[in-house]
Structure 1
Amino acid sequence: MPRNIAFAAALIPLALAACGTPQERCIARNTDEYRTVSSLLAEVEGNIARGYAWEERQVVRDRLTQCRDYYRDDEGKVRVGYSPCWRDYVDTERYRVPIDPAAEARKRDNLAARKAALSDRAQAVVSACREAYPEEA
C-alpha cells in the first residue's frame, strides 16, 4: 500500500471519531488501547509472514524546477521572469529491515496475550457505551 494511502487510511478513523455519534465517540475513546494492540499484532504477523519488516527514512533530493526571478527592465520597472534552478525536497523512502524470527514470535505471543486480556474489557465498554448512548434506528 503506498504511503499516502496508508496515511489517509490512518486518518479516517480519527476523522470519523471526531464527528461520530456520542456512542461511536464513547466506544472509540475507551477502546483505543485494544485497537492499538490489534494493529501492532497485525504488523508483527505481517513481518513474520514476509520475513522482514518495513522502516521509513527521510531522504533529501534535488529537483530541477522553475524559480521566479525579479529584475528591472530598461524603463526601471520590476519584472518577473523564470529560470531553471535546483531545489531540495524531502522524500520518504521505505526499506526492508531483517528481523529475528524468534524475537518477532515472542512479540506476537505477548501482543496476542495482551489483546486477549483487553478483549473482555473492550466488550464490556462497548456494551456500556451502547446502553449509555442508544442509537435510534
Structure 2
Amino acid sequence: MRRNTALALSLALPLALAACGTPQERCIDRNTSEYRTISALLAEVEGNLARGYSWQERQVVRTRFEQCRRVYRDRDGQQHVTTYGCWRDYVDSERYRVPIDPAAETRKRDGLEARQAALSGGARAAVSACREAFPEEA
C-alpha cells in the first residue's frame, strides 16, 4: 500500500466515538471528514485490485418455516392459544462478487491517491489546530 497509513490511523482511531466524544474529537471529526472518506474509498479500491473483484450486496427475500400462534375464543369466551407450523418471508442481505476492470480501478486509485495527498496537509493542520484549541486533560 502506498498511502500514508500512519496519518489515516492517527485520524481514524480517536474518532471511533466522535458523536459522544470530547470537543477535540468532535473538532477533528468535523474538519477531516473528507480526508477520511477518501481514505476509506482508497482502501476499498486497493482491496478490489488485490482481489481482482469487488463486493456488492443485494436484498434477497427468503422463506423459512416457523412456529406461528393463533388465539381463539371458545363458546364460553375463554382464550386459547394454538401453535402451528407456517412459512414466513424475511429479507436477507447477500454479498456477491463483481468483476472489475483493472485499468479503471488503477485510474480510480491514482485519482484517490492524488486527492488524498492534496487533503493530507489540510487534515494535518486541522488536527493540530483542534488539539491546540481543545487540549485533552490527563
Q: TM-score range by the shorter chain?
A: 0.7 to 0.9
TM-score in terms of structure 1 length: 0.87
**Corresponding residue for 1:58?**
59
Gaps of 5+ in 1: 1-11
The residue number in structure 1 matching 2:9 is none
Residue by residue, what CA displacement relative to the aligned partner does 1:58-95 show, whole Å, maximum 9, x if unpaired?
Answer: 00000100111012235331211111111000000000
Which amino acid in the other structure matches residue 132 of structure 1?
A
Percent identity of paired positions between Structure 1 and Structure 2: 75
CA contact (8 A) 2:70 2:83 kept: yes
**What's the offset of the Cα at 1:19?**
1.3
Gaps of 5+ in 2: 1-12
Q: Give the ranges of 4+ consecutive aligned residues of structure 1 lying more than 6 Å apart after TM superposition.
A: 12-15
Aligned residues: 126
Q: CA deviation at 1:99?
A: 0.2
2:37 equivalent to 1:36: yes
Over the aligned positions, Cα root-mean-square deviation in angstroms equals 1.7
Residue 135 of structure 2 aligns to a residue whose secondary structure is: coil
Q: Which amino acid aligns with 1:71?
A: Y
Other-structure match for 1:122: 123
TM-score (norm 2): 0.86
> Does the 8 Å CA contact 2:63/2:89 hold for their aligned counterparts?
yes
Distance 1:13 1:59 in 2: 36
Partner AA of 1:33 in structure 2 = E
